[in-house]
Amino acid sequence: MSWAGNVTSTREVMLRGLPLGEGVGRQVDYWWTVYKRTWRGTIISSFLAPIFYVLAMGVLLGGFIEGDPARLEGATSYLAFIVPGLVAAHAMQTAVGETTYPVMGMIKWRRVYDSMLATPLQVVHLVVAHLLFVTFRVATSCAVFMLVLTPFGVFETWWGPLLAFVSQVLVGMVFAALVYGFTARLHSDEGFGVLFRLGVFPLFLFSGAFFPVTNLGDVGAWIARLTPLWHGVNLSRMFSVDHVDWGVAAINVAVLLALLAFGVWWAIAGLTKRLVS
């Protein structure tokens, strides 16, 4: 094929657009290289720190708390109560960490997205590939967390932890998509301070990870139940302690899937406006 033919073929691909699967697949090498170069820097924050947190809060502090299933949403010990919520909260924190400064760097500081868009790749390919990488990060960190906790006897069934793990990954995906859309619209990293102080930290404390949200009173409990993290925490805990209300679980899943769909749209629209429009 002649040089002119190659140019025409490339132009046609760029105008027609790559299929989603092909566009995402072309970025696998890039994201695998990123992971190989950065995974060592995430060992403490992704694996060791959460485990130490569980040992301190669940094992040591939990030894002073009576394990009443009626007050601990079906958990027979405070350790069994706090572990599923902490893993779900950890999924949120991992997702937020991967979609704030890293995304800002891709857009503004290193401008990697600009170089990608100079190829036949489109914004939707960039967003989906990045979110899938974040999902991989969330899944690996939560999987290690759950495996390490297995000997502690906090899981009541063999299938419960598997469904709990899926719910943890789902809530991580929700926060990844929503925060990605938020970051795509920021022109300065100063907004991240507001996000962490007024968003992530309050959610971590008051979405049911450390205590039942009913302790917040009627109004506080309903506010907590409106947050995405509570739905993830509730699913994770119900499956882990085998105290499942399938009607409530269906609502939790529906809410998270709706937020995920909105978040992906929000992210794609935000990056398109930022780099293309």
For 164, the token pair is 């709990």
pLDDT by residue (tens digit) across 20-41?
A: 999 999 999 999 999 988 888 7
Average pLDDT, integer, range 134-163: 89
What distance lies between CA 128 and its chain's CA centroid? 14
d(CA 66, CA 68): 6
Summarised one tens digit per residue, pLDDT across range 204-251 is 999 998 889 999 999 999 999 999 999 999 999 999 999 899 999 999
Q: Which two tokens stand for residue 247?
A: 């009607």
| pLDDT tens digits, one per residue of 66-117 | 666 667 787 878 888 888 999 999 999 999 999 999 999 999 999 999 999 9
What is the reported pTM? 0.89
The per-residue pLDDT for range 129-143, each reduced to its tens digit, is: 999 999 999 999 999
Q: What is the pLDDT of residues 170-196, one digit of tens each?
A: 999 999 999 999 999 999 999 999 999
Distances (CA, A) of 156 to 103, 221, 244, 246: 39, 26, 12, 17
